[in-house]
Structure 1
Amino acid sequence: MEVDQLRYFLRVAERGNFTRASEELMISQPALSRSIQKLEDELGQPVFERKTRSLALTDAGVLLQSRAQQILTLIEDTKAEISDDGHTGQIRVGAIPTIAPYFLPDFLRQFSAEFPEATLIVQEETTDKLLHSCTQGEIDLAILALPVPARYLEVEELFQEELLLVMPPEHPLVEKTQIRLADIKPFPFVLLDEAHCLSDNIVSFCRQRSYHPVAVEHTSQLAMVQELVSLSHGISMVPQMARERDETNRRIYRSLSGTKPIRKIAVMWNPYRFQSQLLETFKDRLRVYTQKRKKQQK
């Protein structure tokens, strides 16, 4: 039984499809099928139940999936521990799309300057996918917004940031010196798709105050939300970090009066995986960076 066979098996099990798995593994589908067949021959029974359009794990496949994940985790952690010198190595960082392009670049530049021999790999995904990747050891840590249903994962809050109301320059609310939540009720919203937790933050804040925002448009990127607002398709709320990156004069940002909408940013990792010296240093630098950020915003 070879390590690559286990990796191939796990990818097919995760995707439930040989075609998608072969594309991601960058090997031909016949080669992938032969590898799985060889594995099944060695085990003496099938690990997949072949259906017309999908695959399902057999009882043997379910057991092998659990064992294969443990074996590959042990191999990867052993390699990392042996080569752990605190300066070299790879750190796989995950972040949700409403954080990655606004928060990470400056921090990663600083870390790379201090540790030039380290390799940083960034994965931008939704919260659900980051939870899965972190649990499976596909990434070393993730930066995302609370709350998260993180079973068996360590979660540490880094900072809070305000969600700011964003409007086109000609919007009637622009002239108001103070904008209350009641003032925005008549106006339609542009929101991110439901897969993004930022929309949950916004809707939850409004619902707690007996108001449900009406979304006229949904999009998958925060930058597109901002563009649609500038085109007068609606208003929205965006994180402070996105506002800091917005240098255009085609949008106006305002802080709501009274209780302000916020989101909590946290770092998450799997405490059952080996934590290299470099990874621990990365987390320490991240804490220092966020503390400086908070002081600068006061």
Structure 2
Amino acid sequence: MELDQLRHFVSVARTQNFTQAANQCGMSQSTISRSVGRLEEELGQPVFDRQTRKVVLTDAGRILLPRAETILSLVDDLKREIQDDGETGRIRIGAIPTIAPYYLPKVLSRFNEQFPEATLVVQEDTTSVLLKQLADGAIDVAVLARPIDSRHLEIESLFEEELDLVMAADHPLQKKKNITISDLEGIPFVLLSEAHCLTGNVRSFCEQRAVCPLTIEKTSQLASVQELVSLNHGISLIPRMARQRDHDKSRAYRTLTDPKPTRVIAMAWNPYRFQSRLIETFKQHLRDFKADDAIS
């Protein structure tokens, strides 16, 4: 049983597709298929049930997957520990979509200036997916928004960020000198889907103040929320870092009068995985990097 066979098996298991696994591994589909086939020959039984549109694990595959992931994680950690010089290596960074395009560019750029030999790989996904990837060792550190429900990961708050009200430039609320949360009662909201933690932040803030946001539309991207707001489909609450990057005159932003809605940005990592000196330096870089530095 070879390590490459296990890597190919795990990739197919995670993607449930030989073609996607081949692209992920940078190989042809036939190469991946042969590798998994040799593994199945050695085990004496199939690890996948090959269906029309996807492949699913057999009983043998379900037994093999967690063990294969553990073996590969141990090997990867061993290599990284032996090769750890504090300046070279790869850091796999996860971030949620409402943070990645706004906060990370300058963070990564400045880190690369200090450590030009380091390779930074970014994975953008929802909180639940990133937490699983941290647990599996697929990423090294993630930048998320609290609350974060995970018992086995280390969570450290970085900074608090305000959420700003966004509306169409000609919205009636624009006439008000001060806007409070109660002024939003009964006005349609455009929000991200429930998979995004920002929606939970918005709902929690409103409900704690006895305001029930009337959600009429949901989308999967923050840019789509902003565009729908421009078209007068509703209003929304947007992270300050996204507001700072938005110069479209069809939208207007306002700061709510106290209490102000906020979210807490945090980083998370798996303490049971090897943390190279380079990763530790990157985590300190995140601690030192202020929110204003990223969005200015």
Normalising to structure 1: TM-score of the pair? 0.91
Question: Structure 2: how far apart are the matches of 1:166 and 1:222?
Answer: 12
Residue identity opposite 1:40 in structure 2:
E
Question: Structure 1: how far apart are the matches of 2:128 and 2:241?
Answer: 22
> Structure 1 211/291 Cα, relative in aligned 2: closer, same or farther at 3 Å?
closer
Counterpart contact for 2:189–2:235, Cα < 8 Å: yes
1:1-80 equivalences under 5 Å are 1-50=1-50, 54-80=54-80
Deviates more, 1:74-83 or 1:56-65: 56-65
The CA deviation at 1:276 is 0.6
Residues 173-196 of structure 1: per-residue CA shift (max 9 Å, x gap): 112121111211132111112221
- Name the SS for the 1:166 alignment partner: strand
Question: Structure 1: how far apart are the matches of 2:202 and 2:44?
Answer: 54
The CA deviation at 1:55 is 4.2
- Name the SS for the 2:98 alignment partner: coil
Counterpart contact for 2:84–2:277, Cα < 8 Å: yes
Question: Structure 1: how far apart are the matches of 2:69 and 2:193?
Answer: 32
> Structure 1 49/225 Cα, relative in aligned 2: closer, same or farther at 3 Å?
closer
The CA deviation at 1:60 is 3.1
Q: Which residue of 2 aligns with 1:233?
A: 233
Q: Which residue of 2 aligns with 1:185?
A: 185
> Structure 1 27/118 Cα, relative in aligned 2: closer, same or farther at 3 Å?
closer
Deviates more, 1:285-294 or 1:138-147: 285-294
- Name the SS for the 2:285 alignment partner: helix
Tell me, yes or no, if structure 1 residue 132 matches structure 2 residue 132: yes
* Identical-residue share of aligned pairs (%): 56
Question: Structure 2: how far apart are the matches of 1:287 and 1:278?
Answer: 14
The CA deviation at 1:251 is 2.0
Residues 156-186 of structure 1: per-residue CA shift (max 9 Å, x gap): 1111111111112211111212111121113
Q: Matched residue pairs, number?
A: 296
> Structure 1 76/239 Cα, relative in aligned 2: closer, same or farther at 3 Å?
same
Q: Which residue of 1 aligns with 2:158?
A: 158
Question: Structure 1: how far apart are the matches of 2:111 and 2:134?
Answer: 21
> Structure 1 53/231 Cα, relative in aligned 2: closer, same or farther at 3 Å?
closer
> Structure 1 181/99 Cα, relative in aligned 2: closer, same or farther at 3 Å?
same
The CA deviation at 1:131 is 1.1
Q: Which residue of 1 aligns with 2:258?
A: 258
Residues 106-159 of structure 1: per-residue CA shift (max 9 Å, x gap): 111111111111111111111111112111111111101111222321111111
> Structure 1 121/51 Cα, relative in aligned 2: closer, same or farther at 3 Å?
closer
The CA deviation at 1:31 is 3.3
Residue identity opposite 1:280 in structure 2:
E
- Name the SS for the 1:66 alignment partner: helix
- Name the SS for the 2:289 alignment partner: helix
Question: Structure 1: how far apart are the matches of 2:52 and 2:262?
Answer: 48
The CA deviation at 1:293 is 5.1
Deviates more, 1:15-24 or 1:207-216: 15-24
Q: Which residue of 1 aligns with 2:141?
A: 141
Residue identity opposite 1:70 in structure 2:
T
Structure 2 residue runs of 5 or longer lacking an equivalent are none
Residues 1-48 of structure 1: per-residue CA shift (max 9 Å, x gap): 111110111122223343443444344444333322211221233333
Question: Structure 2: how far apart are the matches of 1:57 and 1:205?
Answer: 42
- Name the SS for the 1:178 alignment partner: coil
Question: Structure 1: how far apart are the matches of 2:50 and 2:93?
Answer: 35
Tell me, yes or no, if structure 1 residue 210 matches structure 2 residue 210: yes
> Structure 1 31/112 Cα, relative in aligned 2: closer, same or farther at 3 Å?
closer
Q: Which residue of 2 aligns with 1:287?
A: 287
Q: Which residue of 2 aligns with 1:82?
A: 82
Counterpart contact for 2:164–2:254, Cα < 8 Å: yes
Deviates more, 1:145-154 or 1:80-89: 145-154
Counterpart contact for 2:103–2:291, Cα < 8 Å: no
- Name the SS for the 2:70 alignment partner: helix
- RMSD of aligned C-alpha atoms? 2.2
Counterpart contact for 2:18–2:32, Cα < 8 Å: yes
Residue identity opposite 1:191 in structure 2:
L
Question: Structure 1: how far apart are the matches of 2:292 and 2:192?
Answer: 29
Question: Structure 2: how far apart are the matches of 1:87 and 1:73?
Answer: 21
Structure 1 residue runs of 5 or longer lacking an equivalent are none
